[in-house]
Amino acid sequence: MDIVEQKIVLTELISKYLENKTSLETLQKFSWEMIEFFSDKKNKLPPYHDFEKELWYAIWQIQHLADEEHEKEGMTTKVLSEALDYLKSKKKIPEAFVGTRP
């Protein structure tokens, strides 16, 4: 799995979600696929990249906040918008935020 390519895919998916062009289910499916791939130690994992903190932070936020309840509250949009800024390097992710491989 090419993690650089997956960062691009995730960035596009979050952008589409924020533009109402894709669903929560699509985000959840992508995040589960990433978690499952990186959790399976049989897979030959790619080397760690500097941007992974932002990538994994976004994936974990999708796992915890991309649901109907948080969406109705506006939390999903707020958090994913910030995560997108981190992925695009528009903002620096705070040191206290956790974003690690499974």
Residue 99: inside a domain, yes or no? no
Residue 101: inside a domain, yes or no? no
Q: What rounded mean pLDDT belongs to the chain?
A: 94
The one-letter code for the residue type at 48 is Y
Residue 100: inside a domain, yes or no? no
Residue 94: inside a domain, yes or no? no
Residue 92: inside a domain, yes or no? no
pTM for the structure as a whole = 0.93
State how many domains the chain has.
1
Residue 44: inside a domain, yes or no? yes
Residue 95: inside a domain, yes or no? no
Residue 18: inside a domain, yes or no? yes
Mean pLDDT within 72-86: 96
Quickly state the pLDDT bin for 8 (edges 50, 70, 90).
Answer: very high
Range of the domain at 35: 3-87
